[in-house]
């Protein structure tokens, strides 16, 4: 199915990464009963200049009103739409170990548009169990299940690093077009497949480095 959200506009990645921060903040303001927000107000909270915010928001289809700023409900709508959080992206997860099981248990992902429909593993202890109402099947069943019934386009990869590449190849064989790779292995994918690497450890290294630079 073609994603109906207007992703294709050429937004630079740093701007794209900042938009979820604005969204989280304006959602908080909505909860507090506010109706309008200015880029200066967002700037104060997020530590990004008002000019940058206005520029970032120029990529999404919204314009602010002089003096009052952006209408909060409208801003939430267009940001969620633009970021793809409104559209349900069907996913499967490979490797239901400690990280994989935690991701299956996290209902937050669905709020951000990622619906994991099944987990796959090879371990007897997890195969044919349910985690957070999500079934876990044997990895051997993946191609058939995905092509016939699940039809997921995203594969979340949480297997041991030494089988990351072969598992990624297998996911692609089963119809996966985007891989969210949590393993530390730099997997390769053919053209036409989206790869997103994510590591909490990389952020940890940045934090350690900044801590070292603090004055005694
Ligand atoms: N990106 C991050 O921030 C981050 C954080 C923690 C762990 N990790 C990485 O995530 C991966 C999983 O870590 P973990 O601690 O959950 O490990 P784990 O050993 O608890 O889980 C791995 C799971 O993969 C399963 N598995 C093995 N072969 C398989 C196959 N062929 N098909 C399907 N499943 C298979 C195992 O049975 C196991 O359940 C590792 O690569 C680890 O380095 C990344």
Please indicate whether residue 200, judged by its CB atom, sits closer than 6 Å to ligand 1. yes
- Contacts of residue 179, Cβ cutoff 8 Å, sequence gap at least 6: 154, 155, 157, 168, 171, 172, 187, 189, 193, 194, 195, 196
Instruction: Spell out the domain ranges in the chain.
Output: 13-83, 89-202
Atom of ligand 1 nearest to the CA of 166: 31
Rounded to the nearest whole angstrom, what is the distance from the C-alpha of residue 72 to the centroid of ligand 1?
40
**Helical axes 13-31 vs 50-58, angle rounded to 10°:** 100
Please indicate whether residue 204, judged by its CB atom, sits closer than 6 Å to ligand 1. no
CATH for 13-83, options being 1.10.10.10, 3.90.245.10, 1.50.10.20, 3.40.640.10: 1.10.10.10
ipTM of the complex: 0.98
CATH for 89-202, options being 3.40.50.720, 1.10.490.10, 3.30.70.260, 3.10.450.50: 3.40.50.720
Predicted structure pTM score: 0.84
Choosing from 97, 143, 162, 207 the residue with most ligand 1 atoms within 8 A of its CB, the one to mutate for a pocket test is: 97
Each residue's pLDDT expressed in tens, for the chain with a length of 216 residues:
444 444 446 889 999 999 999 999 999 999 999 999 998 899 998 889 989 998 999 899 888 777 788 999 999 999 999 998 888 999 999 999 999 999 999 988 998 899 999 999 999 999 999 999 999 999 999 999 999 999 999 999 999 999 999 999 999 999 999 999 999 999 999 999 999 999 998 889 999 999 999 998
């Amino acid at each position: 199915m073609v994603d109906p959200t207007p992703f294709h506009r050429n937004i630079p990645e740093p701007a794209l990464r900042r938009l979820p921060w604005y969204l989280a903040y304006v959602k908080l303001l909505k909860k507090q009963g506010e109706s309008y927000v200015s880029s200066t107000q967002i700037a104060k909270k997020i530590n990004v200049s008002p000019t940058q915010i206005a520029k970032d928001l120029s990529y999404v289809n919204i314009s602010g009103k002089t003096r009052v700023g952006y209408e909060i409900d409208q801003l939430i709508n267009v940001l969620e739409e633009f970021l793809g959080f409104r559209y349900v992206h069907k996913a499967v997860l490979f490797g239901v170990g400690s990280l994989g099981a935690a991701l299956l248990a996290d209902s937050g992902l669905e709020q951000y548009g990622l619906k994991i429909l099944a987990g796959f593993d090879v371990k007897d202890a997890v195969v044919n169990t349910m985690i957070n109402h999500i079934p876990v099947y044997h990895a051997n069943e993946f191609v058939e299940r995905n092509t016939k019934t699940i039809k997921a386009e995203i594969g979340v990869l949480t297997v041991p690093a030494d089988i990351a590449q072969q598992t990624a190849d297998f996911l692609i064989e089963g119809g996966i077009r985007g891989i969210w790779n949590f393993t530390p292995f730099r997997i390769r994918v053919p053209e036409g497949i989206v790869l997103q690497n994510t590591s909490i450890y990389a952020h940890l290294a940045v934090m350690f480095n900044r801590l070292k630079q603090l004055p005694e």
